[in-house]
């Protein structure tokens, strides 16, 4: 399973990039606005320059035509841009058109296997399944990820499944076990994934013991 960072915070992206394990970034309008960035284009371009892998930028529009127009514009901002399109009827039509035009789409805001399947049939490169938000609504988000992966494998659909709306490290464990191709994680969750109290206690003890040895 690959790890994407789910943020528009440039400082976090730079720090995570240094770890050498981030292969992409997902953003959304809420994440960009949290950073107080007035210039959306400049913010996305900056992210694209830090991480070489796919960077998802969201398109907002009620009509297919305006979605296509925005997507065609955004896709010129950097070679690694992926267009995020919501799993709606207009979004599905836009995805089909963009995929035929070789523009990579991340079919986002998926909350059902049917939405993910339709996104894949439309030619989306990725489908983003929002595990945490579905859990919040009282459903089993990760079981749905497992089902989607199974169906895509069964029908040999090349679309990659992104486990999104990740809230804690246990979601990452479950996403990996469910066979998700990618988990897109907030920076705080990435930090929680590497930290373990027993590792920290172990390092402290080794350092103390080593000091005793070297002072003998
Ligand atoms: C994914 O691409 C989304 O940006 C993200 O995972 C949404 O997560 P949230 O439910 O925490 O807003």
pLDDT of residue 33: 85
The stretches of 22-63 forming alpha helices (DSSP H) are 29-34, 40-50
pLDDT of residue 216: 67
Catalytic-role residue among 37, 84, 104, 146: 84
Of all residues in the chain, the percent with pLDDT exceeding 90 is 89
Give this prediction's pTM: 0.95
pLDDT at 9 exceeding the cut of 80:
yes
With a 6 Å cutoff on the Cβ, whether 183 touches ligand 1 is: no
pLDDT at 42 exceeding the cut of 70:
yes
Residues 6 or more apart whose Cβ sits within 8 Å of residue 203: none
Residue nearest to atom 11 of ligand 1 (CA): 165
pLDDT at 208 exceeding the cut of 80:
yes
Residue nearest to atom 6 of ligand 1 (CA): 165
The atom of ligand 1 lying closest to the CA of 132 is 10
pLDDT in tens, 80-107: 999 999 999 999 999 999 999 999 999 9
Nearest-angstrom CA–CA distance, 86 and 107? 6
What rounded mean pLDDT belongs to the chain? 96
Nearest-angstrom CA–CA distance, 5 and 13? 7
With a 6 Å cutoff on the Cβ, whether 58 touches ligand 1 is: no
pLDDT of residue 166: 98
pLDDT in tens, 11-37: 999 999 999 999 999 998 889 888 887
């Amino acid at each position: 399973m690959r790890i994407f960072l789910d943020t528009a915070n440039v400082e976090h992206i730079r720090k995570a990039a240094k770890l050498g394990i981030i292969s992409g970034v997902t953003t959304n309008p809420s994440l960009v606005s949290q950073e107080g960035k007035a210039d959306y284009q400049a913010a996305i371009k900056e992210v694209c320059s830090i991480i070489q892998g796919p960077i998802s930028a969201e398109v907002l529009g009620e009509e297919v035509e305006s979605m296509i127009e925005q997507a065609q514009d955004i896709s010129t901002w950097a070679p690694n841009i992926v267009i995020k399109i919501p799993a709606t009827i207009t979004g599905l039509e836009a995805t089909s058109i963009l995929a035929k035009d070789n523009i990579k789409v991340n079919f986002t805001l998926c909350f059902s296997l049917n939405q993910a399947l339709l996104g894949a049939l439309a030619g989306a490169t990725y489908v983003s399944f929002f595990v945490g938000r579905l859990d919040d609504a009282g459903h089993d988000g990760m079981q749905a990820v497992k089902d989607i992966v199974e169906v895509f494998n069964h029908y040999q659909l090349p679309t990659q499944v992104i486990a999104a709306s990740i809230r804690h490290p246990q979601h990452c464990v479950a996403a990996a076990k469910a066979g998700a191709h990618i988990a897109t994680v907030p920076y705080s969750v990435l930090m929680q994934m590497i930290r373990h109290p027993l590792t920290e206690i172990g390092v402290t003890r080794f350092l103390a013991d080593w000091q005793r040895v070297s002072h003998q």
